[in-house]
A and B are shown apart, each in its own frame.
Chain A
């Protein structure tokens, strides 16, 4: 008997990539993450990561160096079970600061929880407007 993963339902993890000093790290623990993601309805998501990436690239191309008139939004994601955590990065860099290591570890613990077997996950990040890094 082996544990195995079957992706049937999409679940979103939103990672808020903060490039400024953290105000207060969320104290959400891995158990809370796992329960908040479990028990979602069998919603099929017709939006792929590649489409979202393309929408972000289009937005950057259409509004170079400026904020778009309205923020990019993906209403389909609102129906998914999700939680938001803050992860601090070095400015303009993909390097996560040690102050956020615990949050990343807690996500790893939640994703190892067997109650989430059978779910697929979508990790979405965003960075500050001043940064040239984007996800």
Chain B
């Protein structure tokens, strides 16, 4: 019985790792905090005095091979997640325009699209719009206010 449970657990973890589609994307605050924690020693060793921004990313890229496996993993996870969030924020207008027009009317475009999307259930949205909205982070961003 215990073996079975362990197997189910292990399988679940594999599925969750392979299909992280519905997972939340990271906020910039979480992303940079994770990098700062994972890279603490490596920043001091390889990128000391490098300002936060593109130059720090270049430093991480240049020294990638020398960085600890923990850093490399954190970096890959953070970059993937932030790219997804950034793309979703850029594309949500296109991904959800039909849903917004159908569910809320055209006056809910642009700055008001979040009010519309928060007011309706995920089930009422098209899967693409719902996923893009989740990826923008604006569901949780609003919930934290």
Task: Verify that A and B bind, or say they do not.
Answer: yes
Query: Pick the contact of A101 from B35, B49, B89 — CB < 8 Å?
Result: B35
Query: Pick the contact of A3 from B32, B93, B142, B144 — CB < 8 Å?
Result: B93
- Which among A26-34, A50-58, A70-78 touches the partner chain? A26-34
Q: In the docked arrangement, what's the CA distance between A32 and B109, Å?
A: 23
**A43 within 8 Å of B by Cβ?**
no
Q: In the docked arrangement, what's the CA distance between A117 and B92, Å?
A: 14
Q: In the docked arrangement, what's the CA distance between A108 and B137, Å?
A: 13
**B81 within 8 Å of A by Cβ?**
no
Total number of residue pairs linking A and B with CB closer than 8 Å:
86
Question: Which secondary structure characterizes the binding site on chain B?
Answer: helix
A35 contacts B36, CB within 8 Å?
Answer: no
Which residue on chain A has the smallest CB distance to residue B85?
A112
Chain B interface residue count, Cβ-Cβ cutoff 8 angstroms: 33
Q: In the docked arrangement, what's the CA distance between A112 and B90, Å?
A: 10
A96 contacts B28, CB within 8 Å?
Answer: no
The verdict on A105 contacting B109 (CB below 8 Å), with A30-B141, A31-B142 known, is: no
| Chain B residues, CB < 8 A from A118 | 111
The verdict on A113 contacting B138 (CB below 8 Å), with A1-B110, A32-B145 known, is: yes
